[in-house]
Amino acid sequence: MAIPVILFGPIGFCPNANKEYTVTNAPIQTSLVFDNSYAIRLDGFYAPVQGDVAPKPRLVALNEPLATDLGLDVATLTAEQLAEIFSGTTSPSGATPLAQAYAGHQFGGFSPQLGDGRALLVGEVVNQVGERRDIALKGSGRTPFSRGGDGKAAIGPVLREYIVAEAMFALGIPTTRALAAVTTGESVMREDGPLPGAVLARVAASHLRVGTFQYFAARGEVDKVRQLADYAITRHYPQARDRANPYLALLQSVSQAQADLLAKWMTVGFVHGVMNTDNMTISGETIDYGPCAFMDNYDPRALYSSIDHQGRYAYGQQPVMARWNLARFAETLLPLLDVDETRAIDLATTEVNRFAELYLPAWTARMRAKLGLQDALPEDTKLADDLLATMEGQNVDYTLLFRGLSEPSFGRAAEVKLLFGDPSAFSEWFKRWQLRLKQENSDPTVRAAKMKQVNPIYIPRNHKVEEALQSMTKHGNIAPFERLNNVLSHPFDLLEGCEDYAVPAPAEFGPYRTFCGT
Ligand code: AMP
Ligand code: MG
């Protein structure tokens, strides 16, 4: 497969990176120690911006453990100050707020200029274990990249991102984190009419995206692509620097990180919903929770987003689309991979085609753990795949099935079979699995305990997420959000009185549709 090299015509607008900051309010002194490498080292890759002044900012959620980890002593600030900071109304001292430039393939079509249209990077801090972290806001107002948008966000999508990002974190999946949610006191106009405006404060290993590279590659700015690649290597993959071809090593590292990430998504039934190249990170973290959802019944075609008419980002398509996105990333690196273009294309193509070799072992390892297998045998991929085949068309809840298999004594066989309309194929598979487990001779109690550490009992069930969002949007009641968030922070432990969080939506909830909600 040759990687198609896409050529673009001239692109008009470029942000003015040298614009002076217009300071609206005096900064608030906090304990955050900023060290803003993006602002300093990547001049010309962003536009400085200030958040809008929110009329009546109010803190509705704060992730205190995360704040502490970042060095933010919340006890020294009032709720009003926190709401001002996390709405973008006032910057913490040391911040250099900016909107990042990026491009992206959206549903296969290239947009040469997207960028932070309603987000800003407040700055970077180093956390307690020495990791550099971006603190960013989403919904803080217009930027030079806003195009026709209002730069704002509504409370529903802000809380959805909060819930799902934190649930992913608790499940052990690389992700941006939610630090705070603030209502702004103003309404934002959306399709359904006016909605309460809100801002999400989030934390990421970085906000470098495949689309960041595409922005400069599309303009033919090879030096800038190199500068960005050097920055990405320093920030995320320093070991690549010492390799014979550091840029090829960067591509390999990102491929590996994405293969691992996709394996994790797939083995919890996560459907991102909008895997455009601007929503794929270089760090390998999940980012930009828009129309995402967790699959209930196993179905490779599971799709929740109202805007994905072709099923491009359906559950089963996700590894394929990750590879497609990596091909777009590889294209941006071609001039860096080799001076000889043919050779560069060869190197990139080989790497992109290797994605399955990275993804399949990562997926099989996760499935092995989900099935309580300790030895790695070559036929495990098929064993796991065959289980999925028995589930297809049977309306079997993915999460309940694996949790059911995690009960001691080979799973509660009878109970698990009840999940199937016709359990005959599953029963055959179940016997094979039992034989395989017997060969390993592992202790059933120990095995069950281990399986329960990888097969969650609680995932963000769509009806529970909706209930939390609606309750805040319509009634200003944050309690269901808080309760859901609490439950999801212990996804593997049975919590007393939380049975209703562990079961699929009732039939009257109907088929679930998610909206970008921007
Ligand atoms: P998303 O679908 O959230 O990944 O966003 C895709 C692009 O649209 C990004 O460049 C966003 O910054 C931009 N965008 C989304 N919503 C808005 C909005 N309300 N105002 C301005 N830009 C937006
Ligand atoms: Mg995005």
Kind plus residue range of the DSSP H or E element containing 270: strand 270-271
Structure tokens, 267 = 């083995």
Residue 192 confidence (pLDDT): 82
pTM of the model: 0.94
Is the Cβ atom of 516 under 6 angstroms away from ligand 1? yes
Residue 133 or residue 11, greater confidence: 133
Is the Cβ atom of 149 under 6 angstroms away from ligand 1? yes
* Lowest-confidence segment of 166-180, 231-245, 375-389, 503-517 by average pLDDT: 503-517
pLDDT at 19 over 60: no
Among 138, 145, 518, say which to mutate for ligand 1: greatest number of ligand atoms within 8 Å of CB: 518
Q: What is the mean pLDDT of residues 148-160?
A: 97
Closest CA to 34 of 111, 114, 91, 90: 91
Residue 344 or residue 518, greater confidence: 344
- Is residue 12 within 8 A of residue 74, CB to CB? The reply is no
Residue 21 confidence (pLDDT): 44
Sign of CA dihedral 237, 241, 242, 243: positive
Percent pLDDT > 90 in the chain is: 89
Residue 508 confidence (pLDDT): 85
Residue 18 confidence (pLDDT): 37
The model's pLDDT over 419-443, given as tens digits with 9 standing for 90+, comes to 999 999 999 999 999 999 999 989 9
Q: Which of 69, 134, 278, 380 is catalytic?
A: 278
The model's pLDDT over 336-367, given as tens digits with 9 standing for 90+, comes to 999 999 999 999 999 999 999 999 999 999 99
The model's pLDDT over 46-67, given as tens digits with 9 standing for 90+, comes to 999 999 999 999 999 999 999 9
What span, in angstroms and rounded, lies between the C-alpha atoms of 213 and 278? 10
- What is the Cα 304 distance to its own chain's centre? 16
Q: Is 278 a catalytic residue?
A: yes
pLDDT at 279 over 50: yes
pLDDT classification of 512: cutoffs 50, 70, 90: confident
Closest CA to 266 of 361, 366, 170, 355: 366
pLDDT at 286 over 90: yes
Averaged pLDDT score across all residues of the chain: 93
pLDDT at 9 over 80: no
| Cα distance from N-terminal residue to C-terminal residue, the chain | 36
The model's pLDDT over 215-247, given as tens digits with 9 standing for 90+, comes to 999 999 999 999 999 999 999 999 999 999 999
Domain edges within the chain? 3-210, 370-396+407-451, 462-505
Compute the radius of gyration of the chain from its Cα atoms: 23
Is the Cβ atom of 290 under 6 angstroms away from ligand 1? yes
Residue 411 confidence (pLDDT): 56
Is the Cβ atom of 63 under 6 angstroms away from ligand 1? no
pLDDT classification of 517: cutoffs 50, 70, 90: low
Q: Give the residue, by CA position, lying nearest to ligand 1 atom 6.
A: 114
pLDDT classification of 20: cutoffs 50, 70, 90: very low
Closest ligand to Cα 287: 2
Residue 518 confidence (pLDDT): 47
* Lowest-confidence segment of 34-38, 385-389, 412-416, 475-479 by average pLDDT: 412-416
- In one-letter notation, the amino acid at residue 154 is A
- Is residue 81 within 8 A of residue 191, CB to CB? The reply is no
Closest ligand to Cα 100: 1
Kind plus residue range of the DSSP H or E element containing 471: helix 462-475
